[in-house]
Amino acid sequence: MSKPKLERTYLNDMDWNYDGPDTLVNWNAIESAASTSTRNVLEMNNENLVFQQNDLFPSAFPIMADIRRQGKLCDVILKVDGQHFSAHKIVLASTIPYFHAMFMNDMIESRNKEIEIKCIDATALEALINFAYSGKVTLDKNNVQSIMIGASYLQLNKVRDACANYLLQRIHPQNALGFRHFAESLGCSTLADSAEKYIESYFHEVSQHEEYLNLSLNEVKDMLSKNDLRVESEEQVFEACMRWVKHDIERRKEHLPELLSLVRLPLLTPLYITDRVRNEEQIRYSIQCRDLVDEALTFHLIPERRALIQSFRTEPRVSDIKGYIYVVGGLNRHGDSLSTVEYYDPKLDKWTMAPPMTMMRSRLGVAVLKSKLYAFGGYNGKDRLSSVEVYDAIRKEWSMVTPMICKRSALGATALGDIIYVCGGYDGVTSLNSVERYHPSTNSWCSLAPMNKSRSAGAVIACQGYIYALGGHDGLSIFDSVERYNPATNTWTEAPPMLTRRCRLGVAMLGGKLFACGGYDGSSFLQTVEMYDPNTNKWQYVAPMNAQRSRVALTANMGKLWAVGGYDGISNLVTVEVYDPKADKWTYAADMIAHEGGVGLGVAEDNEEGILMFAMRLKLASDRNKEWRCCGCLHVRTATIMFGIWHLVLHILALTVLVLVMRNHHINIKRQEFQQNDFLPTPLSKVKDDDNPYYLPTTQDGRPIYSSDIDMGALMTGFTLSITLVMVYGTIKGKATHLLPFFCLQLFDFAITTLTATGYFCYLRSAHRLIAEHWNLPLRHELLQLSPHVLTFLVLLSFLMSIIWKAYWICVVWRCYKYLTLRQQSARSTVHYIIPETGEGTSGRRGRHPSDPDYLFDQEAAFGGFPGAVKQTPPPSYRDVVGDMPPPYPAELVGVGPSVAAATMAAAAAASSTATVERETPQAARTDMAPAASVESIDGVSSSTTSRVEANVEVIPGPSSEPINEQAATPAPSPLAEAAAAKVDATEAPSTVPTPEAQK
């Protein structure tokens, strides 16, 4: 008889009719059940019905968590650091792989009520137990490292990955080295690799912080020898080397020759070597250091001998940019100029539109500097342009900057250091040989020495501290010549010419070599590519492109060359070709979607960790940010300091007057207080009138100065002076709370001043009389000549302006308080890793400083008693088995999957565990005992190494499969080996803890 066919139906607020002849269904019950679930499932046939409630499991765990909070039905207590956590074994075994292996293999711990856990912080264990019930864990800078250790310990891989992602989002030059050490201590290779890449990308910034200065000699040597350091020049590497040596010069100066040999001195400019390197005192007194300096000078002064001193020191560091390829402006299929911008993601092989420029540009120049893409000049379809705009890849917006001195299209632009150079081009009348230099820091242009030839449609590129101008034409002939500009001497010199005449070519630098591709030679459109090696000073051909390309744009990205667009003699091109220097081959990539030719090209870095870090500090990193400016040009911090200094000057003048009054005895100073009046001075009290009973005489009317006046004045002046000093100190040191007393004082003063001045409004009709009574008032005679209405208007206007000016400066102080608060919050959001004090190899590293609130605390508890750098924390139940042997674990376990490995380890560990069960089995009775584990566990052994803990974060490459320590690959036989062998031989393995019957 055939099996009845099931029909699956979903209950989701719908009406149902079923007319099966052999089925009787209670539809009211079904509809009632369906109302409790958003999408319940029915499987039915002629004989039965299967109901599935999808929200049963999500609703069950919160109930179990509530039962645990009530302390009911708990059958296990986990003890760590003197704290106890109750839980349910069934929940722990079903959600945490470590406990699954412990409880499901008849281990000692499976029978114990209390289990001691070691090497995990109590707070982390509590968070992970709560995670087992709720599936949620809260990470912050105080617990992320201890939770990551615990998650690796308990094999909660997704929690471990979330911790790694949290750390990556908060990586900073100040903590990158600590993150790398922490990841290595856990064997988390992907987090360590990401931190390593960050250090290579921001080496200059990292080398300026304390973590770098506390590195050991071998670590500094390893860092300086890296070929992938992304530095603007070798000067930054030299300065980092000297900075580390001078941090402890007495102990480290003997290592200077060894470190200086790793700095590529020949890549420094001759002036820098002469003025900076040779003048270092430690270098002058070291023969080995002087030899290295002489080698660098010989490299520059005698080019003929460069071939004899070729070494890694003469090779530029390969700091390949990795980011988005931006295509700017250019032409469409009809030859019209565009303002369109699109970018290409090499990882996704996809083009995406970006915000357009403010005006149309073709045949423009493009340069990239510090994640900003600059578009220079070009042609808008009518005129040649001198305007310049810049695109911020982080903010994703365009803005205008100072225009060039000359109009230019078909120009060349490149960045060297912190400066952008623009060369040649066409101004609508003739080809140009003029050169301009742009300083982004000052937003200004200046002219430089002109090129030897006028070059339009040429190419410009920076290489090894020089600016190279290649090819182009002057309106009459096309060039193959190359000239080189030296920024130190402001001169142009001839360089070896290219092998082919080219204009409208593309040029890029890759691996310290120049590549020139495509272009037009006057008779044909080119697809050839040639390479220039600055060390050999020669050109040579490499593999040609697949298509002829004139007006091609070329750039380097991810270790490859990218040729974009162009013109093949028939039509504009949308295709993109990629050159692999290792394979010496060109391949096609995804076509552009909005451009066809004559484009500008640049690569804006796509370092996600760096961009995130920069974005979080964007408002705070630069004092040039308009949001924090006041008075037109001053930063709020500077303005607040100036405001405080002005108040200090006023206080000093006030104290000076008080001192002069006290030292001049001829002034009539009386000791008694006011006696004839029992009221305080008011605006009315200053109106001298015979009918005014409230009038108080002033010093101008002959009233003597009372001692109480001087005492109160000195007291108030000293009090406000101290508040002002605290404000100035806090502003300079960046302590926001120090500004609050001064701010409150200014608010109080503002309120009192405003109310007092408002009280005078009732005497506006008597303004002339008030002015006449104040004989020392400035411009008194001129004011008395004005009409009452005009005088009233001037008084009100002066009052309003004074109040507004006072309120404005109070707002400046408040904005400075907000600025400093954001700075402090940004600093507190930076997660720091404390490098623990270890053995001899890391004796220079510092431990946790208890007085530093920004650093993570409880690191000693998080690391437990681990000696030195720990690769992976072994679960405590098999500490007695593995002893002090470092990971990886014995060869019997290499290749065991996570759950199986935990089961095998826990099973073997239980043989020697004495946690809470008193065993009295004779030695002979325990000889042949094997752990009780299923045969399927051994059959399921895989080939992966389980002693690794690797964070599989989306933004980083996948984990490596290399062993951590190959020395422990073949250890001596251990109880683990006996346990594994027993599993294979026995169909029923006896329990690790023998029963009373077995003991008998």
- Burial zone of 261 (CB within 10 Å; 0-12 exposed, 13-18 middle, 19+ buried): buried
Query: What are the start-end ranges of the E strands in 89-181?
Result: 114-116
Residue from 576, 570, 584, 581 nearest 601 by CA: 576
- For residue 826, the model assigns a pLDDT of 52
In this predicted structure, the answer to whether residue 891 has a pLDDT above a threshold of 60 is no
* Mean pLDDT, rounded, for 651-658: 84
Q: What is the 3-state secondary structure (H, E, C) of 16-83?
A: CCCCCCCCCCCHHHHHHHHHCCCCEEEEECCCCEEEECCCHHHHHHHHHHHHHHCCCCCCEEEEECCE
- What does the pLDDT look like over 17-71, one tens digit per residue? 434 434 344 444 444 444 444 456 666 666 778 888 888 888 888 888 888 888 8
- For residue 312, the model assigns a pLDDT of 80
> What CATH code would you report for 324-606?
2.120.10.80
- For residue 852, the model assigns a pLDDT of 39
Beta bridge partners of 538: 533
In this predicted structure, the answer to whether residue 628 has a pLDDT above a threshold of 80 is no
**Dihedrals phi, psi of 239, to nearest 5 degrees:** -65, -40
- For residue 400, the model assigns a pLDDT of 94
The rounded distance, in Å, linking the Cα atoms of 252 and 506 is: 47
pTM for the model stands at 0.48
CB-based contacts of 622-628 (< 8 A; 24+ apart in sequence): 628/815, 628/819
- For residue 577, the model assigns a pLDDT of 95
Which of 85-99, 359-373, 524-538, 784-798 is predicted least confidently?
784-798
More confident residue, 110 or 98: 98
Which of 320-324, 325-329, 371-375 is predicted least confidently?
320-324
In this predicted structure, the answer to whether residue 657 has a pLDDT above a threshold of 60 is yes
- For residue 991, the model assigns a pLDDT of 35
Inter-helix orientation angle 157-169/176-186, to 10°: 170
In this predicted structure, the answer to whether residue 243 has a pLDDT above a threshold of 90 is yes
Question: 761 vs 292, 367, 747, 807, CA distance in Å?
Answer: 82, 63, 22, 20
- For residue 406, the model assigns a pLDDT of 93
DSSP letter (8 states) at residue 381: S
More confident residue, 901 or 546: 546
DSSP 455-474: -BS-EEEEETTEEEEE--B-
In this predicted structure, the answer to whether residue 407 has a pLDDT above a threshold of 80 is yes
Which of 449-463, 465-479, 770-784 is predicted least confidently?
770-784
Residues with Cβ within 8 Å of residue 204, at least 6 apart in sequence = 231, 232, 236, 240
* Mean pLDDT, rounded, for 503-510: 93
Q: Give 221's pLDDT tier (boundaries 50, 70, 90).
A: very high
- Burial zone of 839 (CB within 10 Å; 0-12 exposed, 13-18 middle, 19+ buried): exposed
- For residue 402, the model assigns a pLDDT of 94
> What CATH code would you report for 60-231+837-939?
3.30.710.10
The rounded distance, in Å, linking the Cα atoms of 789 and 110 is: 97
Q: Give 240's pLDDT tier (boundaries 50, 70, 90).
A: very high
The rounded distance, in Å, linking the Cα atoms of 238 and 215 is: 16
Chain centre to alpha carbon of residue 276:
32
- For residue 69, the model assigns a pLDDT of 87
- For residue 500, the model assigns a pLDDT of 94
Tally of CA atoms within 13 A in the half-sphere of 733 that contains its CB: 11
Which of 174-188, 202-216, 663-677, 897-911 is predicted least confidently?
897-911
Q: Domain ranges in the chain?
A: 7-54, 60-231+837-939, 324-606, 653-825
Over the range 499-512, which residues count as b (16 or more CB within 10 Å of their CB) and which as e? Answer: bbbbbbbbbbbbeb
What mean pLDDT, rounded, does the chain reach?
74
The rounded distance, in Å, linking the Cα atoms of 385 and 377 is: 5
- What does the pLDDT look like over 757-768, one tens digit per residue? 777 677 676 777
* Mean pLDDT, rounded, for 292-303: 84
Chain centre to alpha carbon of residue 381:
41
Q: Give 330's pLDDT tier (boundaries 50, 70, 90).
A: confident
- What does the pLDDT look like over 248-284, one tens digit per residue? 999 999 999 999 999 998 888 888 898 899 889 889 8
User: How many of the other CB atoms lie within 10 Å of CB of 887?
Assistant: 20
DSSP 340-372: -EEEEETTTTEEEEEPPPSS-BBS-EEEEETTE
- For residue 460, the model assigns a pLDDT of 95
Question: Is the CB of residue 578 less than 8 Å from the CB of residue 587?
Answer: yes
Rg (CA), the chain: 39
The rounded distance, in Å, linking the Cα atoms of 482 and 497 is: 5
The rounded distance, in Å, linking the Cα atoms of 244 and 448 is: 37
Over the range 265-278, which residues count as b (16 or more CB within 10 Å of their CB) and which as e? Answer: bbbbbeebbeebbb
In this predicted structure, the answer to whether residue 864 has a pLDDT above a threshold of 70 is no
- What does the pLDDT look like over 942-986, one tens digit per residue? 333 333 333 333 333 333 333 333 333 333 443 334 444 443 343
* Mean pLDDT, rounded, for 572-581: 91
In this predicted structure, the answer to whether residue 463 has a pLDDT above a threshold of 50 is yes
More confident residue, 893 or 744: 744
- For residue 422, the model assigns a pLDDT of 96
Order across the sheet with 513-517: list the strands.
Answer: 506-510, 513-517, 529-533, 538-542
* Mean pLDDT, rounded, for 124-139: 90
The rounded distance, in Å, linking the Cα atoms of 299 and 317 is: 17
